[in-house]
Amino acid sequence: MENQEIKKNPEFLESVLKLNEGRSLNDALHKSLKDIEALDLAKLNRIGLKVYETDKWTLHTILQHLIDWERIWCFRAIVFARNEGTTPVAMDQVHHFNIIEERYWPLDA
């Protein structure tokens, strides 16, 4: 994705463009797939549910959070691409975090 191809960039898109270093969308997706395939699963299994500090997210929680956000963004992209009405408003990150916190750190634990 080249910066010139987009008329007006939303704020979040600037960081995406920088991360992709001028790659085409197809190349960026292939690179992402290669990066995922190159993950050291043995190392991830050794880390397991360890955290570096009390009340911090485990690797599993971080990955689940990324998957959840990916689902949200895919849904938004589909609604936009199909022109199925108004694209949902931006996510409230604080609200979403509170849901995640309750899900993984119940008050009675």
Phi, psi of 95 (to 5 degrees): -60, -45
Residue type, 68: D
Answer yes or no: are the C-beta atoms of 104 and 61 closer than 8 Å: yes
Provide the residue-wise pLDDT of the chain in tens; the chain has 109 residues.
555 555 677 777 777 778 888 888 899 889 989 999 999 999 988 998 888 888 888 888 888 888 888 888 888 888 888 888 776 666 666 776 777 677 665 544 4
> At 20, is the secondary structure helix, strand, or coil?
helix
Distances (CA, A) of 13 to 6, 18, 24, 32, 61: 10, 9, 14, 17, 25
Domains of the chain: which residue ranges? 1-38, 45-109
Residue type, 103: R
